Structure 1
Amino acid sequence: MTHELAAFNFTRVLNEDPILKTLTLLGTLPSPTAVNGEANTQESAILIIERSAFPVQTATGHVAQRIATLATLGKNDIYSWWTAILAQSQLEPDLKISVIHPATEAHIVKYSKQERKMVTETAEIYRARVLPWIENQPKSRIQWVYNILNGSKEQDDILFRDNDPDTGFIVLPDSKWDRKTLSSLYLLAISMRSDVRSMRDLTTKHLPMLKNIREKALKMVPEKFPGVASDEVRLFVHYHPSYYHFHVHITHVQAQVPGSTVGQSHLLENIIDNIEHIDPDYYSKINLRFALGVNHPVYALVTGELSN
């Protein structure tokens, strides 16, 4: 992978987040299908680079013991400020890098910095504009999901599997988690059902599936990750989701994760209660208000700012 990333040709910065310590770059990488005569064939690639979480203590000692170089920024009474360079460590990598290659124009738009605005998606707008758009999405966009569910990809990563076609699901680590820092634990529960695209599709007939995910996920996490209690686990659903196959996000309650803001994030417990106690078709009837990037295709559908 080191040699592969060394071939990355930088084009521009798509986004940076100083709070989450992430940097998203657009460039090109050699085509993975190129043959010898096409060695220079380049395809768009996105690198998502983020700072790894600091371990409190590891086999190599405290992080302070890895400091190789210090430079002072100033001092005042009991306070002082420094910059530091850490010595390399195979056990404590400094960065986590995710690669999307080849990246489509949809990926580039998704990961580019853009203005966000609050919008209201009424039930009528959803049925008339948004649902047809979702139904027209090519199946190839979520082929990676089916690869996991049918057992052809990422099987070593699966932490839990329930094969029931109606209520079953699999659990695996989210790509944004470093797989070692429990306070930033981030897993995904992906439903076996292919007929539930988003929260909008949920009705009373899906309660067994929702409750199965809730109960088994809350039991599974403490068993797989000692030190994380069930009351430290947060289960939520995004609307709009990043892909239209029903899935539930499982995180440590302390984890600061993208998309956990008001409007976009809906607690699984609240979803179950709304369907069970308010209306069996609650999510197909209500208006939903959330923040959305102005370049997201749904933004134009909801606001009516459609191109000619």
Structure 2
Amino acid sequence: MQDPTRVDDVVLSDFEVLKVLRSDENLKLIAVQARRRRKSELNDDAVDSQDAVVVLEKKPFTEESAVAFTSDLNTQLTTIMRNDIYGLFDGISTDKASIVNAIKVTTIYPATVDHIRKWSDQPFFMVRETAQDYKQITEPYILRNKLSLEWVYAVLSGKAEAERIVCNDQDTENGFVLAPSLRWDGVNKEQLDLTAIVRRSDVKSIRDLRADHLPLLYNLWKKCTATIKTKYGAEANELRAYFHYQPTYYHLHVHFTYLKEWNAGTAAGRAHLFMDVVQNLQTDGNYYAKRTMYFTLRRDDPLLTLLGDSHQLECF
């Protein structure tokens, strides 16, 4: 039987936590930077000093988990406060197998400096990027420093995560793959979160979209919404479809989430609604080649420095 703590040959107990990168009480999430223990501590022949990012996140409640927790004799309550009809308690299930105790673990190993920076807690700043800025500053920076896209190509080729793909259009011009995000368990409709990755490798972000990409966008919308309705029971008008700018990785992809689901990725300053992007291209096929873009960057993002302080404040 496979070791349950092992994911792609990563054993959590082999690592020591170096520091907390981020802790989010609202998302019930904590991300830490860890490093594999030395050979003498592991008593094996594998030695490296590569860091990892480990993300621990409480899994969302389901109806079944709520019923199990409230009816379980192993559930222990510690009173925090009682006032008239109101009570506040700490609840703990002593049943180690309880689904209430489940934690989703995401590992990035080996993790680069960019991975660690992405998961570190930092303040954000709003910046301004003209079309000229993009050509002279942003695009050269992207080409020099973008994260490896090997994992994207592995998904597109079917070498990785093939069992997760729910829609696979293999057309080289207008095709894509659609799969649940790693953030979603693939079951709870209200946390629905899927990503469609286009097959074309010449479109890094919405900045590269032109009128001749509209057939790709039409095809993606039609087939993704049909798949999501059939498989998960969510109508097209219950979905929020959007692009990120700046995106996490520079290969065009579209996010689909349930309207009731909220996460930081849907906030203004990063998310661009799919329908708005389509309509902008219908109005002007070179819209994103010419438009001045406003978006947020973290304080430690090198692009913030490259764009300059004036771009952090100018609006018009």
Question: What is the TM-score when the length of structure 1 is the normalising length?
Answer: 0.90
Note if 1:9 corresponds to 2:26. Answer: no
Give 1:285 deviation, angstroms.
0.8
Equivalent in the alignment of 1:283: 288
Give 1:166 deviation, angstroms.
0.8
**Runs of 5+ unmatched residues, structure 1:** none
Question: Whole-Å Cα distance in 1 between the matches of residues 70 and 162 of structure 2?
Answer: 37
Match of residue 162, structure 2, among 150, 155, 162: 155
After the TM superposition, which of the residue ranges 185-194 and 288-297 deviates more from structure 2?
A: 288-297
Give 1:212 deviation, angstroms.
1.0
Question: Whole-Å Cα distance in 1 between the matches of residues 69 and 180 of structure 2?
Answer: 25
Give 1:187 deviation, angstroms.
0.7
Correspondence list, 1:1-308, <5 A: 1-2=4-5, 4-29=11-36, 38-57=45-64, 61-66=67-72, 68-86=75-93, 87-89=95-97, 91=99, 94-137=102-145, 141-226=148-233, 228-277=234-283, 279-303=284-308
Question: Whole-Å Cα distance in 1 between the matches of residues 246 and 306 of structure 2?
Answer: 13
Deviations 1:73-113 (A, max 9, x none): 11111111111112333655521110000001111111111
Question: Whole-Å Cα distance in 2 between the matches of residues 212 and 90 of structure 1?
Answer: 43
After the TM superposition, which of the residue ranges 185-194 and 92-101 deviates more from structure 2?
A: 92-101
- SS at structure 1 position matched to 2:125: strand
Question: Whole-Å Cα distance in 1 between the matches of residues 138 and 249 of structure 2?
Answer: 14
Matched to 1:191, the amino acid is V
Question: Whole-Å Cα distance in 2 between the matches of residues 128 and 184 of structure 1?
Answer: 39
RMSD over equivalenced CA pairs, Å: 2.1
Question: Whole-Å Cα distance in 2 between the matches of residues 266 and 162 of structure 1?
Answer: 24
State how many pairs are aligned. 298
- SS at structure 2 position matched to 1:24: strand
- Does the CA-based 8 Å contact 2:69-2:75 persist in structure 1? no
Question: Whole-Å Cα distance in 1 between the matches of residues 305 and 269 of structure 2?
Answer: 18
- SS at structure 1 position matched to 2:51: strand
**Runs of 5+ unmatched residues, structure 2:** 311-316
Give 1:180 deviation, angstroms.
2.1
Question: Whole-Å Cα distance in 2 between the matches of residues 175 and 30 of structure 1?
Answer: 27
Deviations 1:213-256 (A, max 9, x none): 11111111011113x22221111000000000000001111112
